[in-house]
């Protein structure tokens, strides 16, 4: 079975590629950049790597080439991770977010919407589209985005839903909680904290770390995405989440304990970042009841596995920049 992963260089995309190879699928990967250092691409050490083909293509400029590849190979299953994916930067580069997250996708989808051999188009959306909610958020909740990033993703979701209703386009939506694990981008709070603490440096807690979110281990997320491909219903939204809410402060406290550091020596308080959703409480009850999926990896174990990855690659990682760099 042939599967296309658009955004295969991303943290979630590369982990999905690795999980698909484990299950002996033939996988095509597309990203706008050349493949990253293997430290950030778990599939590079997969024994079935021969089943993976990579193409450097940019959805903004190469949607014709991507559509031709899908048609030539008769690819039945597509996972789309491609996006401008950083909330804070979306306030400074809103046009780039709307161009990539909406317009480039509309142009691309116009070219493939009538490919009748496609069985699954799995859109990796985001719970950011719901905005802040103190109670559990369910798939039936209204959209209430609070950033250009979230609103651009919400707009694409609505467009895809229109394609489903009008043309029967085989869409399924995935909205996952915050993810973490080995190979994650270094500007994200979990790897960044581990690297800083190893060097006896402090991490800034925006707003004192009071925001509450759910963190789910990346391997559990990839397994859920594959299950949705195989058994999920067309036109449906599925949340993937451990259902365990934690404040950023308490998350960093756990990371400091993993690092054998005193929490008070590891942090400094900074003002709240722009666009921060205070509560990010995503329920995965639907996929558990319908498809029997639930996250298997508890937070402490997942953090320890991430810590081991950081330690194994520390000489390289500590030389890298720990900030997000915007790309058009």
Place of tokens 């955004």: 7
Express each pLDDT in 213-240 by its tens digit.
999 999 999 999 999 999 999 999 999 9
143, burial (CB in 10 Å: exposed 0-12, middle 13-18, buried 19+): middle
Asked if 49 and 35 count as a contact pair (C-beta separation under 8 A), the reply is no
**Residue 275's pLDDT band (boundaries 50, 70, 90)?**
low
Domain locations in the chain as residue ranges: 2-178+216-240, 186-214+245-281+300-317
Domain 186-214+245-281+300-317, CATH among 3.40.50.300, 3.10.200.10, 3.30.360.10, 3.90.25.10: 3.90.25.10
**Residue 133's pLDDT band (boundaries 50, 70, 90)?**
confident
For residue 277, what pLDDT is reported? 63
| CATH T-level topology, domain 2-178+216-240 | Rossmann fold (3.40.50)
Give the three-class secondary structure for 100. Answer: helix
**Residue 303's pLDDT band (boundaries 50, 70, 90)?**
very high
**pTM of the full structure:** 0.96
CA distances from 175 to 125, 153, 299 (A): 5, 11, 19
Q: Which of 98, 66, 64, 94 is nearest to 80 (CA)?
A: 66
The region that residue 295 occupies, defined by phi over 0 for left and psi between -120 and 50 for alpha, beta otherwise, is: beta
Task: Name 89's Cβ contacts closer than 8 Å, sequence gap at least 6.
Answer: 97, 149, 324, 326
Q: Distance (Å, rounded) from C-alpha 263 to C-alpha 248? A: 13
For residue 109, what pLDDT is reported? 98
In the predicted model, is pLDDT for residue 280 greater than 90? no
Mean pLDDT along residues 292-320: 97
What does pLDDT average to over the chain? 95
């Amino acid at each position: 079975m042939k599967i296309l992963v658009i955004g295969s260089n991303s943290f979630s995309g590369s982990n999905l590629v690795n999980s698909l190879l484990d299950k002996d699928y033939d996988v095509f990967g597309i990203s706008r950049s050349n493949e990253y250092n293997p430290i950030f691409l778990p599939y590079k050490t997969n024994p079935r790597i021969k089943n993976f083909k990579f193409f450097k293509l940019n959805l903004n400029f190469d949607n014709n080439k991507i559509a031709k590849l899908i048609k030539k190979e008769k690819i039945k299953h597509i996972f789309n991770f491609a996006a401008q994916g950083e909330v804070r930067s979306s306030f400074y580069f809103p046009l780039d977010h709307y161009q990539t997250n909406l317009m480039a996708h509309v142009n691309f989808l116009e070219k493939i919407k009538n490919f009748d051999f496609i069985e699954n188009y799995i859109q990796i959306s985001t719970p950011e589209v719901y905005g802040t909610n103190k109670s559990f958020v369910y798939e039936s909740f209204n959209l209430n985005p609070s950033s250009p990033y979230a609103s651009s993703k919400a707009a694409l979701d609505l467009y895809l839903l229109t394609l489903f209703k009008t043309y029967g386009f085989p869409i399924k939506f995935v909205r996952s909680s915050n993810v973490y694990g080995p190979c994650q981008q270094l500007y994200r709070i979990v790897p960044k904290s581990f690297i800083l603490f190893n060097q006896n440096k402090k991490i800034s807690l925006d707003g004192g770390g009071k925001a509450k979110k759910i963190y789910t281990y990346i391997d559990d997320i990839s397994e859920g995405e594959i299950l949705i491909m195989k058994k999920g219903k067309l036109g449906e939204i599925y949340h993937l989440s451990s259902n365990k809410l934690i404040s950023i402060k308490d998350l960093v406290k756990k990371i400091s304990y993993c690092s054998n550091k005193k929490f008070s020596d590891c942090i400094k308080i900074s003002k709240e970042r722009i666009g921060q959703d205070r509560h990010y409480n995503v329920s995965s009850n639907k996929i558990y009841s319908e498809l029997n999926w639930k996250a298997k990896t508890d937070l402490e174990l997942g953090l320890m596995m991430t810590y081991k990855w950081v330690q194994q690659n520390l000489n390289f990682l500590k030389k890298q920049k720990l900030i997000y760099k915007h790309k058009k």
